[in-house]
Chains A and B, each alone.
Chain A
Amino acid sequence: MSAPPSDLRRAQWRGTLALAGRETRRVLIVWTQTILPPVLNAFLFLLVFGGALGGRIRQIEGLPYLTFILPGLVVMTVANQSFGNNATSIFQAKREGYIEDVLTSPLRPWQLAAGYLSGGLLRATLTAGIVVLVGSAFAGGVANPLLAVLALTLTGLVFASLGIVAGIWAETFDQFSLVANLIIAPLALVGGVFYAVGNLPQPWATITRLDPIYYLVDAARAGFTGFHESSVMASLMVATVVAAGLFALAVMLLDRGWRLKP
């Protein structure tokens, strides 16, 4: 006899939680690769830009430079870690073949995506949490914690979903690093982390405004400091739509088995 639908649904939920647990475990096992480097990286940015250069720049839009750049650094950390975690996890599982274990399970494609998503979000939360805790000691408290959390959560969802898509797409390490190094890193650097767009000459101001990461940084900065240059509501809405779109794309690729199933 087969399981009744309610038992099947319960099994699928348990399976989704197990996959989320497996992804969590992976993040924690290799913490010297998943947690330590991004935290050190963010602190170096804070030291160099906030400490060494901050004394010369003093204030931007009435905010101490360290206070101004901290939200952007946290957004960069969340984006890089949620993307990198999911792309690597799926790419490894695919390359080494053990992704078959979950592909042959009764989990639905959206449940697979949700399970993988959780690993990226956890890694982003841990690394960003440490950066915020230490950074806030020097840069001051958070003006609107709810808004800051919302902006960072949306950042995590956007890039964790993108990581799933990239992990499925990538067939070589080169393809995988292409997205991280040639798309995300440059976009993050010109995304208004280190400067206010209002102070930029043309065409740099327009280029920055075309960068989607700028709106995530601006929304996070509104949450951390109260200062923002664009409509926070519009930024959050666009980020929500992009996150939903990328998650839907990840689910569709898992459903079709693109590059996963011959």
Chain B
Amino acid sequence: MMGAMLPALRVTDLHKYYPDGVHALRGLALEVPAGSFFGLLGPNGAGKTTLIGVIVGLVRAAAGHVFVFGHDAVADAAAARMLVGLAPQEVHLDRFLTTREVLTYHARYFGLGRAEADERADELLDAFDLGGKARTRPDRLSGGMRRRLLIARALAHRPRLLILDEPTAGVDLELRHELWRFLRRLHQEQETTVLLTTHYLEEAEELCERVAFIRDGLIVAEGETRELVRSADGRRRLEDAYLEAMH
């Protein structure tokens, strides 16, 4: 089937200049295979969040193309966005809605019917252990709960490509491992492609089949995680490959 062969994400020659003169993306090119768990690693200011912004339509690129499962993210934006779920780095949740409504409204923005959205919300509340907080407003949730809600919201419309922008930043160790378990299960059972950005290299090593290193708006290295850490003594870590790529 033609659709199955398309990459989840294909980015070509992407440029982004901000009004303050920062050239955030400098001809970036990237391909994320469908069904993969893909890590995008780089220091602060490398262009990770800008790239994600362009993919989901929150940032306007100056030049280049982004295709989501073959759909141009600009020319065919609506079709592309239907396939993407984003859990952004910053926690921004609608304060007029309850936890459950955050999920139902999001699902409905993406076209789920009311009953289906309710059902999906309950399913996600259970999966993310938020069932007891269904009627609570997001600003009354703990930091970890808000982070979980953000990921649940990204999944509400059953996207084929899930983008997680530093999902475990500021999350305690226990919850981080819990999220890892959930993401692994999601990836395996539902064949969702996951694009993960993180500062925690052990997180990328633990979860990602492939990783790309980004620096100054360009991909400087990319490959399968196990290849990048392969060495004669078996003691090489992703951190070593990262440091090599960054210098």
| Interface set of A (CB-CB < 8 Å, partner B) | 1-3, 7-8, 10-12, 14-15, 17-19, 21-22, 25-26, 29-30, 93, 96-98, 100-108, 257, 261-262
Q: Check B60–A106 contact: CB distance below 8 A.
A: no
Closest to B93 in A: A98
Within 8 Å CB of A7, what residues of B?
111
B193-209 vs A, CB cutoff 8 Å, 1 = contact: the mask equals: 00000000000000000
List 20 other contacts, CB 8 Å, given A18-B109, A106-B82.
A2-B3, A2-B70, A3-B82, A7-B111, A11-B82, A12-B111, A14-B113, A15-B110, A21-B108, A25-B97, A29-B96, A96-B92, A98-B94, A101-B92, A101-B153, A108-B78, A261-B58, A261-B60, A262-B53, A262-B60
Stretch at the interface among B36-44, B83-91, B210-218, B236-244: B83-91
Total of A-B residue pairs, C-beta within 8 Å: 100
**B182, CB-defined interface residue at 8 Å:** no
B78: nearest residue on chain A (CB-CB)? A106
The 3 closest A-B pairs by CB, nearest first: A11-B111, A97-B92, A18-B108
Q: List which B62-79 residues lie within 8 A (CB) of chain A.
A: 69-71, 77-79
A22 touches B79 (CB 8 A): no
Identify the B interface with A (CB < 8 A): 1, 3, 18-19, 53, 56-60, 69-71, 77-79, 81-84, 86, 88, 90, 92-97, 101, 105-106, 108-113, 153
Contacts of A257 in B (CB 8 A): 60
User: What residues of chain A lie closer than 8 Å to B108, measured between beta carbons?
Assistant: 14-15, 17-18, 21
**In whole angstroms, how far apart are the Cα atoms of A15 and B96 in the complex?**
18
Contacts of B58 in A (CB 8 A): 100, 103-104, 261
Query: Judging by beta carbons under 8 Å apart, are B84 and A104 in contact?
Result: yes
Q: Knowing A2-B71, A25-B96, A100-B88, say if A19 contacts B82 (CB, 8 Å).
A: no
A40 to chain B, nearest CB (A): 23
* Shortest Cβ distance from A18 into B: residue: B108
Residues of chain B within 8 A of A102, CB atoms compared: 109
A200 to chain B, nearest CB (A): 44
Residue of B nearest to A102 (CB): B109
Report the nearest A residue to B19, measured CB to CB.
A262
In contact, A107 and B92 (Cβ under 8 angstroms): no
* A8 and B79 contact, CB distance less than 8 A: yes
Q: Which residues of B contact A106 (CB under 8 A)?
A: 77-79, 81-82, 109-111
Contact among B69, B84, B90, B111 with A97 in the assembled complex (CB-CB below 8 Å): B90
The answer to whether B78 touches A8, judged by C-beta atoms less than 8 angstroms apart, is yes
Nearest CB of A to B154, in Å? 10
Whether A98 contacts B92 by the Cβ 8 Å rule is yes
Shortest A100–chain B CB gap in Å is: 6
Docked-complex contact A2 and B110, CB < 8 angstroms: no
B76 to chain A, nearest CB (A): 9
Q: Which has the most chain A C-beta neighbours within 10 Å: B70, B79, B88?
A: B79
